[in-house]
Structure 1
Amino acid sequence: MKKLCTTLSLSTLLVVAACGGEEAGVDEDNRNEQNMNNNTEYNLDDDTDDGNDNEEDGTNNNGLEDTDPDLNDNETNEEAAGDENDEDLGEDLADDTWETEVGDTIENEGGVFTLHNRQDDIDTIETGPIIMDIQQVAAVSGELTGEMADFLETDELDYIQVDIQVENTADEDITFYAGQARMSTSTGEQLESDMWLSDHIDGEMMAGTSQSGSFFFVLENSNAEDVESVRLVWSAPHDDDWEDAGEEVDIEVEF
């Protein structure tokens, strides 16, 4: 997303440059005359090329001092990066997980991460009209760098990643909070997914819709490599009348 924001910023600059170039072709004679007058008034060097006066003396066509374009670019990119920072964190954690074998290490903008355990052979869950596919549960540790380390105020992170796809097969809207599972681990921790790192799945699912996302449960008192199993619990789905439309989901996942 940062790359996209940077691309958009650069595209904006190119559009401005193109418009400026077109204007130069129309008013070239007027500007040349103005530049000659400016050279006389401000005693500019006679050997300065007329076409480059505005760039070298740092003024625009009105004789006003231009703001450093590099500074403007940096401010624009920093603001865009700040707006997208939270979403980028989860993407950095989730990148390349499926292409990594247990025991391997991957590196991305967020840092260096080791996949300790993964379970991706989990039965599809059905509760009322809700069908939920837990695509994987992974135990990961990371050595954080850059913006992620600064944002989380730590250079080490152990977590359980849960990737979910959920579908409402009913002909009516159903409420099911797939992104609000509770987890307990074999190491004795009870956790909820980290809202800053995890994706968002809307709990009010319209009829016939599906959503997916990655959720990160940050371990506070244990290491990812020591987790042998996790328990995941979801509240039952309900309809518009707040009547249960299925059963509570309570599953155990062993690595």
Structure 2
Amino acid sequence: MKKVAGIALLSCGLLLAGCGNEPAKETATKQEDTKNEVVKQKDTGTAEQEETAINEDAEGTADGLTAKERKEGFEYDPSFGAAKYYGFGYNDEVGIDGTKGPLKPVKMGPMSMTIKNVAITDIIPNDETREAFGGNDRVRAVSISVEVENTSDEDVTFYPNKTIAVTDTGEQVEANDELTGDVGGDFLGKVKREGDIVFLLKDPKADIKSVKFIFDGPADKDMYEISGEKRLTFDILDVEAAKKKDAGK
């Protein structure tokens, strides 16, 4: 479907995985409800509740999140830390345009690649997962959920997991090997693979409006290039703007 999709961290593999549009909206609603509840408690709660909120601001809660981080919309998960949505990517060429029509596979020789969603998420890793996120206390990550298929009987080598991302804020980053799924390599005949390609940006507060992805073309069994590279640019909308676009507003 041509709907924006969110991402959630999978505890089993620490991968950023794509999910449907409705879960993304539901999560965004939950985040807003949580934020409203915190504000409500501070405004109308008892003296004890107000003191607790102040302590949370100063020391953090039992799960490691401060009241400020909760207000920002972060949701806690004991398997990795916490995360919130920053924005979602749209590109008419691949069929992610907010409508209900089918997605449009990208053709690169015999390879067919369907991009199911592009999402940007802010992450606060816990002590156990911080190393996987470059040792950073806070990370802004870009995720592409893809399904890749070799439509021929011939062996083809294709590495979408080696894609490069370029943001409009001036960053150029390669996919993170540790967090990216097994979506590239040798496709021996009519083989399908699907998973997520993950990029960790250097600036956790970059105000990103677009991201360009550069995919190298596939090669045959003799390593001769079959098709040239493919460049796709996605416009990034924040959560509220994405919800309006999907609603046709």
TM-score range, shorter chain: 0.5 to 0.7
TM-score (norm: length of structure 1): 0.59
Please give the residue correspondences for 1:58-207 in structure 2 after superposition, counting only pairs within 5 Å. 88-90=13-15, 93-94=16-17, 99-101=23-25, 103=28, 104=31, 105=73, 106-108=75-77, 109-119=79-89, 121=96, 123-149=104-130, 151-152=132-133, 153-207=135-189
Aligned-pair identity (%): 25
Q: Give 1:235 shift.
A: 1.2
Q: Structure 1 regions of 5+ residues with no counterpart? A: 1-85
Please tell me whether residue 239 in structure 1 is matched to residue 164 in structure 2. no
Give the match's secondary structure for 2:13.
Answer: helix
The structure-2 alpha-carbon separation of the partners of 1:223 and 1:124, relative to structure 1 and needing over 3 Å to count, comes to farther
Alpha-carbon distance in structure 2 between the residues aligned to 1:237 and 1:135: 20
Question: Does the Cα contact within 8 Å between 2:81 and 2:123 map onto a contact in 1?
Answer: yes
Higher helix proportion: 1
Q: Structure 2 regions of 5+ residues with no counterpart? A: 1-10, 32-72, 91-95, 98-103, 237-249
Question: Does the Cα contact within 8 Å between 2:132 and 2:179 map onto a contact in 1?
Answer: no
- Computing the radius of gyration over CA atoms, which structure comes out larger, 1 or 2? 1
Alpha-carbon distance in structure 1 between the residues aligned to 2:204 and 2:130: 19
Show CA shifts across 1:106-162 (max 9, x none): 432212211111136074210111000111111110122241135543321111111
Show CA shifts across 1:6-41 (max 9, x none): xxxxxxxxxxxxxxxxxxxxxxxxxxxxxxxxxxxx
Give the match's secondary structure for 2:128.
Answer: helix
Which amino acid is 2:165 matched to?
Answer: M
How many residue pairs match? The answer is: 168
Question: Does the Cα contact within 8 Å between 1:139 and 1:227 map onto a contact in 2?
Answer: no
Q: Give 1:197 shift.
A: 1.4
Alpha-carbon distance in structure 1 between the residues aligned to 2:127 and 2:204: 24
CA RMSD of aligned residues (A): 2.5
Give the match's secondary structure for 1:179.
Answer: helix
